[in-house]
Amino acid sequence: MAKKIAPTRGNLLRVLRALHLARKGHDLLEQKRQVLMMELMRHIDRARDIQKDMAEIFAAAYRALQHANVSVGIDTVQEISRAVPESDEFIVRLRSVMGVDIPEVDPIPEACPPGYSFQGTSGAVDRAFLAFHRVRGLVARLAEVETSVYRLAVQIRKTHRRVNALEKVVIPQYGAAAVAIGAVLEEGDREDFARMKISKEAGKKGLGREVP
């Protein structure tokens, strides 16, 4: 608070209310940050597991693709790949965690009928198709987790800045202002008390003085 506050009782009450709200807001934001941090760590653990599975499933899928290329030829595999329809049947739901929208992708069914004719193909092609179908499901899960991690990290960073601002700037300023105003008012009360006492003693002496 760069602006100096007049040392009045009304201003003292307003400063104390603002200080109470700042401390309460700090506690709520700190709780929010802790909840978001726990959610972030959970998603980071999931991301590690998915990335580990991704390496294994991608390697298996590319091995299956190589076998399909050897089995029917690269040109035939390319023609078959053009016949497979593109799919955008991803259902994304949003779950709110302390005001942060966390995406959740519905699992992709494991059973997926091939979109190509069996004529001129082989079992190796079918295995490659199924392997890359699993890759698609894993990519959807990874996108879900990475988006969640990003959104949580952004919100945690914002919350951290607000907590620091309240803890290191707002609360100390309001606290110092309350102490300063309280000190001025207390000093004024002492001066008023002293003046009243002096005035009272002077009044007593005036009454007790003999009239000539």
65 vs 110: which has the higher pLDDT: 65
% of the chain with per-residue pLDDT over 70:
80
Residues 54/47, Cβ–Cβ less than 8 Å: no
% of the chain with per-residue pLDDT over 90:
27
Q: How far apart are CA 92 and CA 90, in angstroms?
A: 6
DSSP reduced 3-state for 93: strand
Average pLDDT over residues 202-209: 57
> Which pLDDT band, with edges at 50, 70 and 90, does 197 fall under?
low
Residues 105/148, Cβ–Cβ less than 8 Å: no
**Amino acid 19: pLDDT:** 92
166 vs 124: which has the higher pLDDT: 166
**Amino acid type, 146:** E
CA atoms within 13 A on the CB side of 193: 6
List domains and CATH numbers for the chain. Answer: 9-202 (1.10.287.3240)
Q: Which two tokens stand for residue 75?
A: 């040109």
pLDDT at 25 over 60: yes
**Amino acid 211: pLDDT:** 45
> Which pLDDT band, with edges at 50, 70 and 90, does 66 fall under?
confident
pLDDT at 68 over 90: no
Q: Which two tokens stand for residue 107?
A: 């699992």
> Which pLDDT band, with edges at 50, 70 and 90, does 69 fall under?
confident
210 vs 124: which has the higher pLDDT: 124
